[in-house]
Amino acid sequence: MSATDTRTGPVATTGPAPGRPRRPWWTGRRRDQLVGYLFVTPQLLGSVVFVILPLVLVVWYSLHEWNVLAGTFDYVGGDNYAQLAEDTNLGGVLKATGLFSVGLVVFNLALALLLAVLLNQKLRGSIVFRTLFFSPVVVSLVAWTIVWGFLLQDNGGINGLLDTIGVDGPNWLRGENTAMLSVVVVQVFKNVGLNMVLFLAALQGVPGELYEAAEVDGASRMRQFWRITVPLISPTIMLTSIITVVGSLQVFAQIAVLTQGGPGTSTTVLVYYLYQQAFQFHHFGYGATLSIVLFAIVLALTVLQWQMRKRWVFHES
């Protein structure tokens, strides 16, 4: 069936001819459109109800003081945004968020790349190691974190291990510096396998003849890595860094299970802080405002990374 058969007909030169057939409303074109809409409706409905509507409501809530217990919902304009400037905790929270993100991105990407390069060698047992490093990715996040919580206790497994070699381990989750380091390490080991697999796929896509040519030219292994491997896998580095940065800004369960933001406020990252404000302190309006700050930060970083790709991501074309 074609849509053109409804458009054909005698062309009148002097006004509408009385015998001109009226275009029927229900055409094949409309039917195709309807079918298309029906196909996307479930997805669209889901997105509208569960993504777009809440996003719009968050903006709306951020302009209000919502006291859940008293049942009041008062418009306060930009007061919640003004409170951001007066919030004495926010500086520390942003610092903790930045520390976590930088720590996670650096450790995660470096370790993932190192593992991928090692496992890319044709060595016996590399599949076993690949599976071992990837397996934490499929483990439940909370279960993973609880087990690490036991290991990191003062009298836990890690200090027990250190004790056997005569090292008196710190109280990992109670020290201001070691707590953040612990949370970063727990998260790195949780997700390093995913980035490792992505890097591995990218490494296996690098043509072998480039290395052969470089070897003929006398390039060292290190030089080959920096001049051939890194540029050719740069799109993957870009992808993994965006995923890791965005993921690092959303960290919540690890903090909630391991430290609850402490000691002091040293591990109170932005998502945990907005959870506290909204759901524990019942400042839903201010919590919504903080989530908009988080949205702005994620957006800005993603745009920045996307812009930077032009400078350092290698494209074959």
Q: Which of 17, 39, 40, 74 binds other proteins (CB under 8 A)?
A: 74
- Binding of other proteins by 95 (CB under 8 A): no
Task: Select 21 or 264, whichever has its Cβ closest to other proteins.
Answer: 264
Q: Candidates 107-115, 187-195, 205-213, 278-286: pick the segment binding other proteins (CB under 8 A).
A: 278-286
Q: Are strands 64-67 and 72-75 parallel, antiparallel or unpaired?
A: antiparallel
Q: Candidates 14-22, 70-78, 122-130, 307-315: pick the segment binding other proteins (CB under 8 A).
A: 70-78
> How many residues of this chain bind other proteins (CB under 8 A)?
36
- Binding of other proteins by 83 (CB under 8 A): no
Helix (H) or strand (E) holding 304: helix 284-312
* Torsional sign, CA 190, 194, 195, 196: positive
Q: Is the peptide bond before 231 cis (omega within 30 degrees of 0)?
A: no
The encoded tokens of residue 235 equal: 């799109």
Q: Are 184 and 111 a contacting pair, CB within 8 Å?
A: no
Using a 10 angstrom Cβ sphere, with 0-12 exposed, 13-18 middle and 19 or more buried, the burial of residue 239 is middle
Q: Candidates 31-39, 201-209, 231-239, 258-266: pick the segment binding other proteins (CB under 8 A).
A: 258-266
- DSSP calls for 36-77: HHHHHHHHHHHHIIIIIHHHHHHHHHTTEEEETTTTEEEE-T
Task: Select 220 or 260, whichever has its Cβ closest to other proteins.
Answer: 260
* Torsional sign, CA 235, 231, 194, 181: negative
- Binding of other proteins by 226 (CB under 8 A): no
Question: Which residues are 38's β-sheet partners?
Answer: none
Residue with tokens 């418009």: 75
Q: Which of 154, 163, 212, 215 binds other proteins (CB under 8 A)?
A: 154
Task: Select 44 or 132, whichever has its Cβ closest to other proteins.
Answer: 44
Q: Which of 144, 148, 284, 286 binds other proteins (CB under 8 A)?
A: 284
Question: Which residues are 72's β-sheet partners?
Answer: 67
Q: Candidates 13-21, 167-175, 190-198, 215-223: pick the segment binding other proteins (CB under 8 A).
A: 167-175
Residues in contact with other proteins by CB under 8 A are: 45, 49, 53, 57, 60, 64, 66-71, 73-75, 152-156, 171-174, 260-265, 276, 279-282, 284
